[in-house]
Amino acid sequence: MDTLYDLTVHAALSRLNAGEISSLDLTQALLARIQAVENNVCAYLRVLEEDALKQARYADQRRAEGDLSPLLGIPIALKDTFSTKGVETTCGSQILRGYIPPFDATVVRRLKDAGAVILGKTNQDEFAMGSSTENSGFFPTHNPWDLTRVPGGSSGGSAAAVAAGEALAALGTDTGGSVRQPASLCGLVGVRPTYGRCSRYGLIAFASSLDQPGPLARTVADAALLLQVIAGHDPRDGTSWPDAVPDYLAALRADVRGLRIGVPKEYFVTGVQPDVEKAVRDALNVLQNMGAELVEVTLPHSEYALPVYYLIAPAEASANLARFDGMRYGLRKEGATIEEMYARTRGAGFGPEVIRRIMLGTYALSAGYYDAYYLKAQQVRTLIKSDFDRAFEQVDVIIGPTSPVTAFRLGERTANPLEMYLADIFTLSQALAGIPALSLPCGCDAQGLPIGLQIAAPALHEVRMFQVAYAYEQATTWHTRRPPL
Protein backbone atom coordinates (compact mmCIF):
# COMPACT_ATOMS: atom_id res chain seq x y z
CA MET A 1 0.00 0.00 0.00
CA ASP A 2 1.28 3.48 -0.91
CA THR A 3 2.49 5.70 1.89
CA LEU A 4 -0.21 8.34 2.26
CA TYR A 5 2.16 11.26 1.77
CA ASP A 6 3.32 9.76 -1.54
CA LEU A 7 -0.15 9.62 -3.09
CA THR A 8 -1.09 11.65 -6.13
CA VAL A 9 -4.09 13.95 -5.72
CA HIS A 10 -6.25 11.68 -7.86
CA ALA A 11 -5.23 8.55 -5.93
CA ALA A 12 -5.97 10.31 -2.64
CA LEU A 13 -9.39 11.48 -3.89
CA SER A 14 -10.21 7.94 -5.01
CA ARG A 15 -9.44 6.55 -1.56
CA LEU A 16 -11.23 9.38 0.21
CA ASN A 17 -14.37 8.90 -1.89
CA ALA A 18 -14.23 5.13 -1.33
CA GLY A 19 -14.08 5.67 2.44
CA GLU A 20 -10.72 3.89 2.74
CA ILE A 21 -9.10 6.89 4.41
CA SER A 22 -10.27 10.19 5.87
CA SER A 23 -8.97 13.65 5.20
CA LEU A 24 -7.85 13.70 8.84
CA ASP A 25 -5.76 10.54 8.21
CA LEU A 26 -4.24 12.12 5.12
CA THR A 27 -3.51 15.46 6.75
CA GLN A 28 -1.97 13.83 9.82
CA ALA A 29 0.28 11.76 7.54
CA LEU A 30 1.45 14.90 5.73
CA LEU A 31 2.05 16.76 9.00
CA ALA A 32 4.04 13.79 10.34
CA ARG A 33 6.09 13.78 7.14
CA ILE A 34 6.74 17.52 7.50
CA GLN A 35 7.93 16.95 11.05
CA ALA A 36 10.23 14.14 9.88
CA VAL A 37 11.98 15.87 6.96
CA GLU A 38 11.39 19.62 7.17
CA ASN A 39 14.56 20.34 9.17
CA ASN A 40 16.54 19.04 6.18
CA VAL A 41 14.40 20.38 3.32
CA CYS A 42 13.33 23.77 4.74
CA ALA A 43 10.38 24.04 2.32
CA TYR A 44 7.99 25.92 4.64
CA LEU A 45 8.10 29.37 6.17
CA ARG A 46 5.17 28.45 8.39
CA VAL A 47 3.15 25.25 8.89
CA LEU A 48 -0.51 25.72 9.85
CA GLU A 49 -0.94 22.51 11.84
CA GLU A 50 -4.01 23.43 13.91
CA ASP A 51 -5.78 25.10 10.99
CA ALA A 52 -5.03 22.16 8.69
CA LEU A 53 -6.43 19.60 11.15
CA LYS A 54 -9.54 21.74 11.63
CA GLN A 55 -10.03 22.02 7.84
CA ALA A 56 -9.51 18.25 7.46
CA ARG A 57 -12.20 17.45 10.03
CA TYR A 58 -14.55 19.84 8.27
CA ALA A 59 -13.78 18.21 4.92
CA ASP A 60 -14.64 14.80 6.37
CA GLN A 61 -17.92 16.23 7.64
CA ARG A 62 -18.69 17.70 4.21
CA ARG A 63 -17.93 14.38 2.50
CA ALA A 64 -20.17 12.50 4.93
CA GLU A 65 -22.98 14.88 3.95
CA GLY A 66 -22.50 14.03 0.28
CA ASP A 67 -20.25 16.92 -0.78
CA LEU A 68 -17.95 15.95 -3.66
CA SER A 69 -16.06 19.21 -4.21
CA PRO A 70 -13.09 18.65 -6.55
CA LEU A 71 -10.30 18.97 -3.94
CA LEU A 72 -12.26 18.05 -0.81
CA GLY A 73 -9.82 17.03 1.92
CA ILE A 74 -6.64 17.31 -0.20
CA PRO A 75 -3.65 18.85 1.68
CA ILE A 76 -2.01 21.59 -0.41
CA ALA A 77 0.78 24.12 0.20
CA LEU A 78 0.81 27.78 -0.85
CA LYS A 79 3.73 29.91 -1.95
CA ASP A 80 4.11 32.80 0.46
CA THR A 81 3.35 35.31 -2.29
CA PHE A 82 -0.42 34.61 -2.04
CA SER A 83 -2.37 36.74 0.42
CA THR A 84 -3.94 34.33 2.91
CA LYS A 85 -6.57 35.64 5.33
CA GLY A 86 -5.38 35.58 8.94
CA VAL A 87 -1.98 34.06 8.07
CA GLU A 88 1.33 35.93 8.01
CA THR A 89 2.27 36.50 4.37
CA THR A 90 5.78 37.82 3.76
CA CYS A 91 6.56 37.03 0.09
CA GLY A 92 9.86 35.68 1.45
CA SER A 93 10.95 39.16 2.60
CA GLN A 94 11.91 40.62 5.95
CA ILE A 95 10.13 43.85 4.99
CA LEU A 96 6.74 42.10 5.31
CA ARG A 97 7.42 40.33 8.60
CA GLY A 98 4.27 40.43 10.69
CA TYR A 99 1.95 41.33 7.80
CA ILE A 100 -1.35 39.42 8.16
CA PRO A 101 -3.71 39.98 5.20
CA PRO A 102 -7.42 40.54 5.96
CA PHE A 103 -8.42 38.69 2.76
CA ASP A 104 -7.60 35.70 0.56
CA ALA A 105 -6.13 35.91 -2.93
CA THR A 106 -8.72 34.78 -5.48
CA VAL A 107 -6.87 31.53 -6.25
CA VAL A 108 -6.60 30.77 -2.51
CA ARG A 109 -10.32 31.39 -2.06
CA ARG A 110 -11.06 29.05 -4.98
CA LEU A 111 -8.88 26.31 -3.46
CA LYS A 112 -10.68 26.66 -0.14
CA ASP A 113 -14.10 26.62 -1.82
CA ALA A 114 -13.03 23.41 -3.61
CA GLY A 115 -12.32 21.83 -0.20
CA ALA A 116 -8.52 21.93 -0.14
CA VAL A 117 -6.73 21.73 3.21
CA ILE A 118 -4.06 24.42 3.47
CA LEU A 119 -0.94 22.96 5.12
CA GLY A 120 1.15 26.13 5.20
CA LYS A 121 3.08 28.84 3.36
CA THR A 122 6.19 27.81 1.47
CA ASN A 123 9.58 29.46 1.15
CA GLN A 124 10.53 31.42 -1.95
CA ASP A 125 13.04 33.83 -3.39
CA GLU A 126 12.25 37.26 -1.95
CA PHE A 127 9.42 38.88 -3.93
CA ALA A 128 9.82 35.97 -6.39
CA MET A 129 13.18 37.33 -7.59
CA GLY A 130 15.47 34.36 -8.11
CA SER A 131 16.03 30.93 -9.60
CA SER A 132 17.21 28.93 -6.59
CA THR A 133 15.29 30.01 -3.43
CA GLU A 134 18.63 31.16 -2.04
CA ASN A 135 17.38 34.76 -2.18
CA SER A 136 14.78 34.10 0.53
CA GLY A 137 14.88 36.66 3.30
CA PHE A 138 14.79 33.78 5.81
CA PHE A 139 16.78 30.68 4.73
CA PRO A 140 17.52 28.62 1.60
CA THR A 141 15.45 25.58 0.67
CA HIS A 142 17.15 22.28 -0.23
CA ASN A 143 16.33 19.95 -3.11
CA PRO A 144 14.87 16.66 -1.80
CA TRP A 145 16.75 14.74 -4.53
CA ASP A 146 20.09 15.99 -3.15
CA LEU A 147 20.08 18.20 -0.07
CA THR A 148 23.30 19.91 -1.16
CA ARG A 149 21.52 21.33 -4.23
CA VAL A 150 18.94 24.00 -4.95
CA PRO A 151 15.27 23.20 -5.68
CA GLY A 152 15.06 25.99 -8.27
CA GLY A 153 13.10 29.17 -7.83
CA SER A 154 11.38 31.31 -7.11
CA SER A 155 8.72 28.73 -6.17
CA GLY A 156 11.38 26.41 -4.74
CA GLY A 157 9.63 25.89 -1.41
CA SER A 158 6.42 24.75 -3.13
CA ALA A 159 8.34 22.40 -5.45
CA ALA A 160 10.47 20.95 -2.63
CA ALA A 161 7.39 20.41 -0.45
CA VAL A 162 5.63 18.32 -3.12
CA ALA A 163 8.79 16.41 -4.10
CA ALA A 164 9.57 15.61 -0.46
CA GLY A 165 6.05 14.37 0.33
CA GLU A 166 5.29 17.40 2.50
CA ALA A 167 2.23 18.28 0.37
CA LEU A 168 0.25 16.45 -2.30
CA ALA A 169 0.36 19.54 -4.53
CA ALA A 170 1.17 23.23 -4.23
CA LEU A 171 0.63 26.61 -5.81
CA GLY A 172 3.48 28.75 -7.08
CA THR A 173 3.81 31.79 -9.30
CA ASP A 174 5.60 32.02 -12.61
CA THR A 175 7.00 35.39 -13.75
CA GLY A 176 9.84 34.17 -15.96
CA GLY A 177 9.91 30.46 -15.15
CA SER A 178 9.36 30.32 -11.40
CA VAL A 179 6.96 27.35 -11.53
CA ARG A 180 8.42 25.47 -14.49
CA GLN A 181 12.12 25.64 -13.56
CA PRO A 182 11.69 24.31 -9.96
CA ALA A 183 9.33 21.66 -11.36
CA SER A 184 12.13 20.58 -13.67
CA LEU A 185 14.77 20.52 -10.93
CA CYS A 186 12.50 18.66 -8.49
CA GLY A 187 10.98 16.11 -10.88
CA LEU A 188 7.42 17.49 -10.91
CA VAL A 189 4.76 18.79 -13.27
CA GLY A 190 4.60 22.59 -13.19
CA VAL A 191 2.22 24.75 -15.22
CA ARG A 192 2.34 28.37 -16.28
CA PRO A 193 -1.12 29.13 -17.72
CA THR A 194 -1.89 31.76 -20.34
CA TYR A 195 -1.38 35.26 -18.90
CA GLY A 196 -4.74 36.26 -17.45
CA ARG A 197 -6.13 32.72 -17.21
CA CYS A 198 -5.71 32.83 -13.39
CA SER A 199 -6.49 35.90 -11.32
CA ARG A 200 -3.61 37.92 -9.87
CA TYR A 201 -5.87 39.50 -7.25
CA GLY A 202 -4.20 39.04 -3.88
CA LEU A 203 -0.88 37.97 -5.40
CA ILE A 204 1.92 40.21 -4.09
CA ALA A 205 3.18 41.67 -7.35
CA PHE A 206 6.67 41.36 -8.79
CA ALA A 207 6.12 42.21 -12.49
CA SER A 208 2.45 42.81 -13.23
CA SER A 209 2.57 42.09 -16.98
CA LEU A 210 4.28 38.73 -16.37
CA ASP A 211 3.14 37.26 -13.01
CA GLN A 212 0.82 34.26 -13.20
CA PRO A 213 -0.22 31.67 -10.56
CA GLY A 214 0.28 28.02 -11.45
CA PRO A 215 0.16 24.53 -9.91
CA LEU A 216 2.96 22.13 -8.98
CA ALA A 217 1.97 18.47 -8.78
CA ARG A 218 3.21 14.92 -9.29
CA THR A 219 1.21 14.14 -12.43
CA VAL A 220 -0.28 15.94 -15.41
CA ALA A 221 -3.80 14.97 -14.29
CA ASP A 222 -3.22 16.48 -10.84
CA ALA A 223 -1.88 19.71 -12.36
CA ALA A 224 -4.85 19.89 -14.74
CA LEU A 225 -7.27 19.46 -11.83
CA LEU A 226 -5.64 22.22 -9.81
CA LEU A 227 -5.65 24.58 -12.77
CA GLN A 228 -9.32 23.75 -13.38
CA VAL A 229 -10.09 24.89 -9.83
CA ILE A 230 -8.09 28.14 -9.77
CA ALA A 231 -8.62 29.34 -13.37
CA GLY A 232 -11.39 31.62 -14.56
CA HIS A 233 -12.48 35.21 -14.85
CA ASP A 234 -12.20 37.53 -11.86
CA PRO A 235 -13.68 41.04 -12.09
CA ARG A 236 -11.15 42.20 -9.47
CA ASP A 237 -8.29 41.60 -11.93
CA GLY A 238 -8.40 43.85 -14.98
CA THR A 239 -6.13 41.49 -16.95
CA SER A 240 -8.32 38.42 -16.28
CA TRP A 241 -9.58 36.56 -19.37
CA PRO A 242 -13.41 36.54 -19.63
CA ASP A 243 -13.44 33.30 -21.67
CA ALA A 244 -14.94 30.17 -20.13
CA VAL A 245 -12.40 27.65 -18.81
CA PRO A 246 -12.33 24.41 -20.84
CA ASP A 247 -12.54 20.98 -19.22
CA TYR A 248 -8.84 20.22 -18.87
CA LEU A 249 -9.34 16.72 -17.49
CA ALA A 250 -11.46 15.74 -20.50
CA ALA A 251 -8.46 16.54 -22.71
CA LEU A 252 -6.28 13.92 -21.05
CA ARG A 253 -6.04 11.13 -23.56
CA ALA A 254 -2.90 9.26 -24.52
CA ASP A 255 -3.11 10.06 -28.21
CA VAL A 256 -0.85 12.40 -30.18
CA ARG A 257 -1.34 10.90 -33.65
CA GLY A 258 -1.29 13.62 -36.28
CA LEU A 259 -0.17 16.36 -33.91
CA ARG A 260 2.69 18.55 -35.14
CA ILE A 261 5.41 19.20 -32.57
CA GLY A 262 7.70 22.17 -33.11
CA VAL A 263 11.36 21.69 -32.20
CA PRO A 264 13.15 25.07 -32.05
CA LYS A 265 16.75 24.92 -33.19
CA GLU A 266 17.51 27.75 -30.72
CA TYR A 267 16.75 25.42 -27.77
CA PHE A 268 19.58 22.98 -28.57
CA VAL A 269 22.66 25.14 -28.23
CA THR A 270 26.02 25.26 -26.49
CA GLY A 271 25.57 25.41 -22.73
CA VAL A 272 22.84 22.79 -22.48
CA GLN A 273 23.97 19.93 -20.24
CA PRO A 274 24.49 16.83 -22.47
CA ASP A 275 22.26 14.67 -20.23
CA VAL A 276 19.48 17.26 -20.60
CA GLU A 277 19.70 17.39 -24.41
CA LYS A 278 19.71 13.59 -24.66
CA ALA A 279 16.67 13.23 -22.38
CA VAL A 280 14.70 15.84 -24.35
CA ARG A 281 15.59 14.29 -27.71
CA ASP A 282 14.63 10.84 -26.35
CA ALA A 283 11.27 12.30 -25.27
CA LEU A 284 10.72 13.75 -28.75
CA ASN A 285 11.43 10.30 -30.21
CA VAL A 286 8.85 8.76 -27.87
CA LEU A 287 6.22 11.21 -29.11
CA GLN A 288 7.24 10.64 -32.73
CA ASN A 289 6.89 6.87 -32.26
CA MET A 290 3.39 7.50 -30.89
CA GLY A 291 2.40 9.18 -34.16
CA ALA A 292 3.31 12.83 -33.70
CA GLU A 293 5.17 14.69 -36.43
CA LEU A 294 8.37 16.56 -35.49
CA VAL A 295 8.81 19.88 -37.31
CA GLU A 296 11.85 22.13 -36.96
CA VAL A 297 10.82 25.70 -36.19
CA THR A 298 12.77 28.86 -35.51
CA LEU A 299 12.30 31.44 -32.75
CA PRO A 300 14.95 33.91 -33.93
CA HIS A 301 14.47 36.50 -31.20
CA SER A 302 14.86 33.99 -28.33
CA GLU A 303 18.43 35.15 -27.80
CA TYR A 304 17.09 38.53 -26.65
CA ALA A 305 14.68 37.09 -24.07
CA LEU A 306 17.15 37.40 -21.20
CA PRO A 307 18.00 41.11 -21.61
CA VAL A 308 14.37 41.95 -22.47
CA TYR A 309 13.11 40.21 -19.34
CA TYR A 310 15.73 41.80 -17.12
CA LEU A 311 14.67 45.25 -18.29
CA ILE A 312 10.88 44.81 -18.19
CA ALA A 313 10.56 42.79 -14.97
CA PRO A 314 12.84 45.02 -12.81
CA ALA A 315 11.16 48.14 -14.23
CA GLU A 316 7.76 46.86 -13.14
CA ALA A 317 9.22 45.70 -9.82
CA SER A 318 10.66 49.15 -9.08
CA ALA A 319 7.14 50.56 -9.36
CA ASN A 320 5.38 47.71 -7.52
CA LEU A 321 7.80 47.61 -4.60
CA ALA A 322 7.58 51.36 -3.97
CA ARG A 323 4.55 50.59 -1.78
CA PHE A 324 6.71 48.87 0.84
CA ASP A 325 7.82 51.82 2.94
CA GLY A 326 7.05 50.88 6.55
CA MET A 327 4.07 53.21 6.83
CA ARG A 328 1.12 50.81 6.84
CA TYR A 329 2.36 47.25 7.36
CA GLY A 330 5.44 45.12 7.85
CA LEU A 331 8.85 46.29 9.01
CA ARG A 332 9.44 49.90 10.09
CA LYS A 333 12.78 51.48 11.01
CA GLU A 334 12.25 54.88 12.59
CA GLY A 335 14.20 57.92 11.42
CA ALA A 336 14.46 61.63 12.18
CA THR A 337 12.57 62.44 8.95
CA ILE A 338 10.11 60.50 6.81
CA GLU A 339 12.75 60.21 4.08
CA GLU A 340 15.20 58.72 6.59
CA MET A 341 12.53 56.28 7.79
CA TYR A 342 11.88 55.15 4.20
CA ALA A 343 15.60 54.70 3.54
CA ARG A 344 16.28 52.81 6.77
CA THR A 345 13.19 50.59 6.38
CA ARG A 346 13.88 49.65 2.79
CA GLY A 347 17.61 49.25 3.38
CA ALA A 348 17.00 46.84 6.25
CA GLY A 349 13.96 45.07 4.77
CA PHE A 350 15.02 44.33 1.20
CA GLY A 351 17.69 41.75 0.38
CA PRO A 352 20.56 42.34 -2.08
CA GLU A 353 18.85 40.77 -5.13
CA VAL A 354 15.69 42.84 -4.63
CA ILE A 355 17.77 46.01 -4.23
CA ARG A 356 19.72 45.10 -7.39
CA ARG A 357 16.54 44.71 -9.42
CA ILE A 358 14.91 47.87 -8.05
CA MET A 359 18.03 49.80 -9.07
CA LEU A 360 18.06 48.19 -12.53
CA GLY A 361 14.39 48.97 -13.04
CA THR A 362 14.57 52.50 -11.75
CA TYR A 363 17.53 53.20 -14.04
CA ALA A 364 15.70 51.76 -17.06
CA LEU A 365 12.67 53.99 -16.38
CA SER A 366 14.64 57.16 -15.63
CA ALA A 367 14.62 60.27 -17.81
CA GLY A 368 16.91 59.89 -20.79
CA TYR A 369 17.03 56.09 -20.58
CA TYR A 370 13.34 55.08 -20.88
CA ASP A 371 13.33 55.06 -24.71
CA ALA A 372 16.73 53.42 -25.00
CA TYR A 373 16.01 50.59 -22.57
CA TYR A 374 12.44 50.00 -21.38
CA LEU A 375 10.65 51.04 -24.59
CA LYS A 376 13.14 49.11 -26.75
CA ALA A 377 12.66 46.03 -24.55
CA GLN A 378 8.88 46.23 -25.04
CA GLN A 379 9.36 46.43 -28.80
CA VAL A 380 11.57 43.33 -28.81
CA ARG A 381 9.03 41.60 -26.57
CA THR A 382 6.52 42.07 -29.41
CA LEU A 383 8.98 40.43 -31.81
CA ILE A 384 9.38 37.47 -29.44
CA LYS A 385 5.59 37.03 -29.35
CA SER A 386 5.46 37.28 -33.16
CA ASP A 387 8.03 34.45 -33.41
CA PHE A 388 5.67 32.19 -31.47
CA ASP A 389 2.65 33.30 -33.52
CA ARG A 390 4.43 32.34 -36.76
CA ALA A 391 5.67 29.03 -35.33
CA PHE A 392 2.17 28.07 -34.15
CA GLU A 393 0.87 28.53 -37.69
CA GLN A 394 2.95 25.43 -38.52
CA VAL A 395 2.74 23.36 -35.31
CA ASP A 396 0.38 22.52 -32.45
CA VAL A 397 2.90 22.71 -29.59
CA ILE A 398 6.57 23.61 -29.16
CA ILE A 399 8.85 21.36 -27.11
CA GLY A 400 12.33 21.80 -25.67
CA PRO A 401 14.22 21.66 -22.36
CA THR A 402 12.77 23.45 -19.34
CA SER A 403 16.19 24.17 -17.81
CA PRO A 404 19.57 23.93 -19.53
CA VAL A 405 20.97 22.14 -16.46
CA THR A 406 19.86 19.92 -13.60
CA ALA A 407 19.89 21.15 -10.00
CA PHE A 408 23.10 22.99 -9.19
CA ARG A 409 24.77 23.11 -5.78
CA LEU A 410 23.75 25.58 -3.11
CA GLY A 411 26.05 28.60 -3.31
CA GLU A 412 27.41 27.63 -6.73
CA ARG A 413 25.92 30.62 -8.59
CA THR A 414 25.22 33.20 -5.90
CA ALA A 415 28.40 35.17 -6.60
CA ASN A 416 27.52 35.63 -10.28
CA PRO A 417 24.01 37.07 -10.88
CA LEU A 418 24.24 36.62 -14.67
CA GLU A 419 25.03 32.92 -14.31
CA MET A 420 22.01 32.61 -12.01
CA TYR A 421 19.79 34.46 -14.51
CA LEU A 422 20.82 31.99 -17.25
CA ALA A 423 19.03 29.22 -15.30
CA ASP A 424 15.77 30.62 -16.76
CA ILE A 425 17.00 30.99 -20.34
CA PHE A 426 14.41 28.56 -21.79
CA THR A 427 11.42 29.75 -19.74
CA LEU A 428 11.55 33.52 -20.30
CA SER A 429 10.26 33.68 -23.88
CA GLN A 430 6.92 32.00 -23.11
CA ALA A 431 6.34 34.37 -20.20
CA LEU A 432 7.13 37.42 -22.34
CA ALA A 433 4.74 36.13 -25.03
CA GLY A 434 1.98 35.39 -22.48
CA ILE A 435 1.50 31.80 -23.67
CA PRO A 436 0.97 28.66 -21.56
CA ALA A 437 3.83 26.25 -20.91
CA LEU A 438 4.26 23.11 -18.82
CA SER A 439 7.25 21.21 -17.48
CA LEU A 440 7.15 17.49 -16.73
CA PRO A 441 9.81 14.88 -15.92
CA CYS A 442 11.52 13.24 -18.91
CA GLY A 443 14.66 11.68 -17.48
CA CYS A 444 17.52 12.02 -15.04
CA ASP A 445 21.21 12.87 -15.29
CA ALA A 446 24.20 10.73 -14.30
CA GLN A 447 23.71 11.77 -10.65
CA GLY A 448 20.04 10.72 -10.71
CA LEU A 449 18.78 14.33 -10.72
CA PRO A 450 15.50 15.05 -12.58
CA ILE A 451 15.32 16.60 -16.05
CA GLY A 452 12.30 18.55 -17.26
CA LEU A 453 10.60 18.62 -20.68
CA GLN A 454 8.85 21.88 -21.57
CA ILE A 455 5.70 21.95 -23.71
CA ALA A 456 4.35 25.33 -24.87
CA ALA A 457 1.06 26.01 -26.66
CA PRO A 458 -0.70 29.04 -28.16
CA ALA A 459 -2.52 31.42 -25.80
CA LEU A 460 -5.61 29.82 -24.20
CA HIS A 461 -4.73 26.39 -25.64
CA GLU A 462 -3.81 24.68 -22.37
CA VAL A 463 -5.95 21.73 -23.50
CA ARG A 464 -3.49 20.94 -26.31
CA MET A 465 -0.53 21.28 -23.92
CA PHE A 466 -2.11 18.92 -21.38
CA GLN A 467 -2.97 16.37 -24.09
CA VAL A 468 0.64 16.07 -25.29
CA ALA A 469 2.02 16.06 -21.74
CA TYR A 470 -0.41 13.36 -20.61
CA ALA A 471 0.33 11.18 -23.64
CA TYR A 472 4.07 11.36 -22.97
CA GLU A 473 3.59 10.75 -19.25
CA GLN A 474 1.48 7.64 -19.88
CA ALA A 475 4.14 6.25 -22.21
CA THR A 476 6.95 6.64 -19.65
CA THR A 477 7.59 6.13 -15.94
CA TRP A 478 9.63 9.20 -15.00
CA HIS A 479 6.73 10.70 -13.04
CA THR A 480 6.67 7.70 -10.70
CA ARG A 481 10.18 8.30 -9.33
CA ARG A 482 10.50 9.71 -5.82
CA PRO A 483 13.53 11.30 -4.09
CA PRO A 484 15.63 9.01 -1.84
CA LEU A 485 14.83 11.24 1.13
- CA angle 254-255-260, nearest 5°? 130
Q: Peptide bond preceding 154: is omega within 30 degrees of 0, i.e. cis?
A: yes
Amino acid residing at 125: D
**47 DSSP assignment:** E
CA distance 173 to 348: 25
Does residue 435 contact residue 146 with C-beta atoms inside 8 Å?
A: no
Q: Tell me phi and psi for residue 250, to 5 degrees.
A: -65, -20
Catalytic residues: 79, 154, 178
Does residue 82 contact residue 16 with C-beta atoms inside 8 Å?
A: no
CA distance 164 to 138: 20
Question: What residues form DSSP beta bridges with 12?
Answer: none
Segment holding 296, helix H or strand E: strand 293-297
CA distances from 255 to 301, 467, 470 (A): 32, 8, 9
Does residue 400 contact residue 388 with C-beta atoms inside 8 Å?
A: no
Exposed, middle or buried: residue 73 (CB in 10 Å: 0-12, 13-18, 19+)? buried
Backbone dihedral region for residue 238 (phi beyond 0: left; psi -120 to 50: alpha; all else: beta)? alpha
Does residue 159 contact residue 452 with C-beta atoms inside 8 Å?
A: no
Q: What is the CA radius of gyration of the chain?
A: 21
Select from 480, 419, 440, 438 the least CA-distant residue to 279.
440
DSSP assignments along 70-118, one per residue: TTTT-EEEEETTB--TTS---TT-GGGTT---SS--HHHHHHHHTT-EE
271 SS3 class: coil
DSSP assignments along 8-41, one per residue: -HHHHHHHHHTTSS-HHHHHHHHHHHHHHHHHHH
Q: Tell me phi and psi for residue 191, to 5 degrees.
A: -120, 130
